[in-house]
Amino acid sequence: MAGESPFNFSGQRALVTGASRGIGAVIATHLARAGAHVFTHYRQNEAGAQATAEAIRAAGGSATLVQANLVDVDAIGAMFGTVHATGPLDILIHNAAIGSFKPAMGVRANQWDLTMSVNARALLLCAQHAAPLMDGRGGKIVALSSAGSTRVIPNYGAIGFSKAALEAVVRTLAVELAPARIRVNAVTAGLIDTASIRLHPQYAEIEARARERTLAGRIGTPEDLARVVAFLCSPLADWIVGQTIVADGGAGLVV
């Protein structure tokens, strides 16, 4: 209809992994403000996920909590069973991530496995469950990546490796799901001010360097990413397929 906002997600249903805090919580509330019913996923932090859902409802939106350990294949299936029991799915945002801030040479095998499972493998498994629920609806899948996928960040452990794998999964899913009109993309962020990144042992140094290099003149916020995610979920992005959109305030342009 002429004049209708492309960011009106009324009648759509979205699942956001890792929605109990930080970037995931902001993305969930952003989509809900635009009219989507949001499934707020959490692993352990039920109170945080509940707070996200309550904020959504207080603003006039609707939300449902879903719990799953994304390392557990059966738990992922059960989560999508809960979604399916109430209807189809239009949007999947894979934001959940885990990892230890340490040198790569100090990463233990179990830490590698955990990081890869949550950050990359879970995207594939969630997409496998989501695709049938998006059949004929022109679904959108967006994964959250980071600059560590292509650049070496000190003490980033296995996180950068997992994000590189995530972006490879995005490209392949984009090709395989295109015939079903499901668009798959990723967003890679520069430094975003969250409680998680502040735990990095060199955060002060990283922040100072980011402020110096970021052409936008400030550190990124979760809201910055939420707006990019919303764009990729909108009809305006239908021509963007299998891409990783860089949203870093221009930091990556400067040597």
User: Which positions are catalytic?
Assistant: 156, 163
- Cα(100)–Cα(70) distance, rounded to whole angstroms? 17
**Strands 37-42 and 140-146: what pairing?**
unpaired
- Cα(67)–Cα(43) distance, rounded to whole angstroms? 6
Task: Confirm if 220 and 248 have CB atoms less than 8 A apart.
Answer: yes
